[in-house]
Amino acid sequence: MARLRVAVLISGRGSNLQALVNACAEPAFPAEIDLVISNEPEAGGLALAEAGGVATRIVNHRDFSDRPPFDAALTAALTEAGSDLVCLAGFKRLLTTAFVERWRDRLINIHPSLLPAFKGLHVHERVIKAGVRITGCTVHFVRPEMDDGPIIVQETVPVAADDTPEGLAERVLAAEHRCYPLALRLIAEGRVTVAGKVVTITGSDPLPAGFLNPRDA
C-alpha cells in the first residue's frame, strides 16, 4: 500500500515537525513527509527537515501583496509536490477561506488545549488563571474559523496547583509530540472519517491510554 504523501507548513523551530519526521522515518509508518514549506527563510525547522532528508521550500509571505496570492503560491507548491495531506506545525499565518476549502479534510493542525476550550493565544496562562485541572492538546481538521474544525484526537495533561505557564507548556508540548504522529497515522491508515463536525475512528485497535476521540467506532 502506498504511503500517504504529507507536506508540513512551518514558521519557526519545528518542534512538532521533528516529531512527525521521526514517526515517518519508521519503515512501517503509513505516511511520508515529502515537503516542508516555511514562510520564514530563517525558520529553524528547515534545518531539521534537511537533516531528515526532507525537501524544503521557502514561500516568503513578504513577497506577496496580500493573503490570496500567498495562499495561491502555497497551493501551487503543494500541488507540484503531489501532497495528499497538509499538516500545520507552528505555521503563523492566517489562511484564507479559499485555501482552507481547497484542502478541506486534507488540512490538519495541532492546538495546545482541549478544544473547543481556550482557542487563540496565551493558552497556558489562561488555563492556569481559569483554575481548570485538566488541559491538553488537540489535533483537528482545519476550518476557516480560527482553532475550529472536527477533532481527530486529543491527549489530556493534568494541571498542578503550583503550575507555571512555562512548566505547563513543556508538558503539553510533550503531549503534542505524541498526539500529532498518532493523528497522522490514523488518517494514513484510512481509519478517520468526517461527517459534519464529527470525526469517527474505525478499526479494532483502541487509542492509547490518555488519548481521547469524541466518537470511537
Summarised one tens digit per residue, pLDDT across range 186-217 is: 999 999 999 999 999 998 777 777 787 655 43
Rg of the chain (C-alpha set): 17
Write down the pLDDT at residue 74: 98
Of 60, 77, 103, the residue that ends a domain is 103
Asked whether the predicted pLDDT for residue 65 surpasses 60, the reply is yes
Residue 38 has pLDDT above 80, yes or no: yes
3-state class (DSSP) for residue 55? strand
Region 28-33 average pLDDT: 98
Same domain, 48 and 22: yes
State yes or no: pLDDT of 168 exceeds 60: yes
State which residues form the domain around 69: 1-103
What is the pLDDT, as a whole number, of residue 214? 57
What is the domain count for the chain?
2
3-state secondary structure of 6: strand
Q: Give the domain CATH number at 10.
A: 3.40.50.170
More confident residue, 204 or 122: 122
Residue 18 has pLDDT above 90, yes or no: yes
pTM value is 0.95
Q: Is it the case that residue 96 has pLDDT exceeding 50? A: yes
Spatial CB neighbours of 56, under 8 Å, sequence gap ≥ 6 = 35, 36, 37, 38, 46, 49, 50
Q: Are residues 95 and 164 in the same domain?
A: no
Among 49, 84, 103, the domain boundary falls at 103
Structure confidence at residue 216 (pLDDT): 44
Calculate the average pLDDT of the chain.
95
Q: Is residue 111 flagged as an active site residue?
A: yes
What proportion of the chain, given as a percentage, has pLDDT over 70?
A: 97
Write the DSSP symbol of residue 216: B
- Looking at the structure, do residues 16 and 97 belong to the same domain, yes or no? yes
- The one catalytic residue among 111, 124, 140, 177: 111
For residues 80 and 114, state if they share a domain.
Answer: no
What pLDDT score does 208 carry?
78
Q: Where among 59, 86, 103 does a domain terminate?
A: 103
Q: Is the pLDDT of residue 117 over 60?
A: yes
